[in-house]
Amino acid sequence: MRSQKYKGIFVFIILSLIWSSTWLVIKIGLDVVPPFLAAGWRFLAAFIVLLIYFYKLKLIFPRDFKSHLFFIAFAMLNFTGGYAAVYWGEQYVNSGLASVLFSVMPFYVILFSLKFLPSEELTIKKALGVVVGFIGVAVIFSDQLHFEHPMAPYAMFALIISPAFSAAGSVSAKVARQKYHTVTLMTLPLLYTSVSFFILHFIFEKNMSVTYDMKAILSILYLGVFGTSIAFLLYFRMLKRASVVLMSLVTYTAPPLALIWGWLILDEHISASLFIGMLIIFSGIALTAKK
């Protein structure tokens, strides 16, 4: 039992490190590749990685029409809807602000789980932990929430809405995980997601310039392999054992860690509010995880 607990903590840390870095990597990639096209390549790369793993495990794709309808709906809900807003929004706001706005996801998760996951009991500790964690995020970015681009307010609205899709996807994955193998649940939806983004690209971005330099290629590969296939595989596996509310709190660790990535890679400034906010965030997570 204790080993399972430590394993869960380890996975939570890995997810925090990966997903906190993706905001910076998305921003870097958007310098040379339009958002929907970048997302399409990301999810196609993730699909190829998981397809290889799928056949290595000797799994078989469901052939019934109902399952494929679910995979398409799951792809549109969990990936296309949320990530379309994320990629579009990050054109106009900095990556740190984007991660802060996305961190409202646990509130959406609570709302959806109350409706669709009656077994997910919402305790006072869970609710309080979510609120405390968000206060920590607000403390960290209290002196950094600024923007200059005229499209920024619309981008901020999109980024606040985007986690609703991810939250709904997490709740539906918690249910579907009882029927489908984790790798099966991931593989085809990634393909359907990539197709949807390529369609969006041809509709909205066909006249935009594209540069496939090393920065673009490394961004796509990192986001596809680590930020999508590996991260979501770990996330959905943990959903089988852990509370969906608890797992959603990984979005709270992204903003402070994103600042640290910016400090390490781009030599960006960090302040004392980072450490104060991190303490508050981890207090909220501990409160939510406590039985």
* Nearest to 194, CA basis, from 33, 30, 38, 44: 44
In sequence order, what are the residues at sequence separation of 6 or more whose Cβ sits closer than 8 angstroms to the Cβ of residue 230?
18, 49
* pLDDT tens, residue by residue, 149-189: 788 888 888 988 998 898 888 888 877 877 898 899 999 99
Phi, psi dihedral angles at 141 (to 5 degrees): -105, 20
Global pTM value? 0.84
How many angstroms from the chain centroid is the CA of residue 63? 29
Per-residue pLDDT at 220: 97
Would you state the pLDDT for residue 3?
A: 61
For residue 107, count other CB atoms closer than 10 A to its CB.
Answer: 18
User: What per-residue confidence (pLDDT) applies to 281?
Assistant: 75
Domain boundaries, the chain: 13-289
Summarize pLDDT for 11-31 with one digit per residue, the tens. Answer: 888 998 998 899 889 988 999
Residue for token pair 């399952």: 67
* pLDDT in the model for residue 112: 79
Residues of the chain with pLDDT under 70: 1-6, 118-122, 140-148, 242, 245, 266-270, 274, 288-291
DSSP structure class, residue 149 = S
Instruction: Give CA–CA dist 184/68, Å, rounded.
Output: 11
Judge contact between 126 and 181, C-beta under 8 A: no
Q: Which residues contact 264 (CB under 8 A, 6 or more apart)?
A: none
Residue 111 has what pLDDT? 75
From residue 221, how far is each of 62, 193, 230, 262 by CA, in Å? 28, 16, 12, 20
The full DSSP string for 91-129 is TTS-HHHHHHHHTTHHHHHHHHHHHH-TTS---HHHHHH
